Amino acid sequence: MTLEYDAQQTHSNLRPSVRLGDLVEQIDQAIPFALAETWDKVGLLLGDPDALLTGVVVTLDVTDRTIELCETNQANLIVTHHPLIFSPLTTLREDIPEQSLIRTLIQKDIAVLTLHTNLDAAAGGTADCLADALDLVEQQRSVFLPVTVENPLVLPALGSDLTEAGHGRVLELVEPQDSRELKERIRTSLESSGVRQNSDAIALVHRLAVFPGSFDESWVERLLDLEVDAIVTGEIKHHVGLKLALRGIVALDAGHDVTERVVLPNLAHHLSQMTPELTFAVDYGFDYNKVTF
């Protein structure tokens, strides 16, 4: 996986014909905004629904590099994983970097659409892409549901037959994996510079759960109910890692970015199928792990 810009130039000579609001509606049907956590900020965060689109850049985070890629590809929509605006703004100042970024986007008429925890949960979304990237032989995959869902949503999007929505995936492995071998597989598969482990325990992993991005402490008891031996995630608090270790669950933290970046090519591909007349480019963003490890 390259961490440089990966632009897919197609149909660049066509006149703009896709209305932003129409694409937002299509995305909502495929990756429902209703799947997002209640605290999350997803959907169209910046832009005019009546604007005609000229191209799209898909990324984890909106940065100056992302805006440069928009200009290079004549794109006026950024589809980002992490919300550009999360807390209410009380100012919009040029001397505050995050607010200056928003001012620049407005000045350049670049819209921003966020697909965050709804993309994590959706069938074929971030959680499934993380599970696929590990390339493990599994006999069963199920959705991690912290609570009982009486009427699970049917998700017609992104090419998976899973019929429930949940942030993680639970994999029943055909052949148990030694946790040391699993740790190395995760590092190489995700091109992570290092994988943190919550203890020095060596375990035989029969049942593995994957959680892209951050792991939520409230999920610990559900892991026990499901008899999960180990988890793969991108970020975990120290006390939560200790909590899992005391319960005999190995936690492998590969980095927030690498556990989510795996969804970007898949997302760009499916969005391009919705709107084949648009140009798409993927910005893999800053490699946090090369700094951390």
Same fold: 6-119+263-286 with 126-256? yes
- Cα angle value 113/214/112 (rounded, 5°): 10
Q: 167 with 207: CB under 8 angstroms? A: no
Per-residue pLDDT of the chain (293 residues; tens, 9 = 90+): 333 334 444 344 456 689 999 999 999 999 999 999 889 999 999 999 999 999 999 999 999 999 999 999 999 999 999 999 999 999 999 999 999 999 999 999 999 999 999 999 998 999 999 999 999 999 999 999 765 444 343 333 343 444 456 889 999 999 999 999 999 999 999 999 899 999 998 899 999 999 999 999 999 999 999 999 999 999 999 999 999 999 999 999 999 999 999 999 999 999 999 999 999 999 987 665 554 44
Please tell us whether the domain made up of 6-119+263-286 is placed in CATH 3.40.1390.30: yes
Would you put residue 49 in left (φ > 0), alpha (ψ -120 to 50) or beta? alpha
Domain ranges, ordered by start, for the chain: 6-119+263-286, 126-256
* Per-residue confidence (pLDDT) for residue 242, from 0 to 100: 97
The angle, 0 to 180 degrees and rounded to 10, between the axes of the packed helices 264-274 and 20-30 is 120
Provide the pairing of β-strand 43-46 with 196-197: unpaired
Residue 282 CA: distances (Å) to CA of 45, 102, 279: 19, 20, 11
Amino acid code (one letter) for 85: I
Evaluate the CA torsion angle 70, 71, 74, 76 in order and state its sign.
positive
**CA 164/CA 214 separation, integer angstroms:** 20
CA-based radius of gyration for the chain = 19
Amino acid code (one letter) for 254: A
Residue 51 CA: distances (Å) to CA of 23, 111, 167, 268: 11, 9, 32, 20
Phi then psi dihedrals of residue 141, to 5 deg: -130, 130
Phi then psi dihedrals of residue 285, to 5 deg: 80, -170
| CATH superfamily for domain 126-256 | NIF3 (NGG1p interacting factor 3)-like (3.40.1390.30)
Instruction: Report the SS3 class of residue 261.
Output: helix
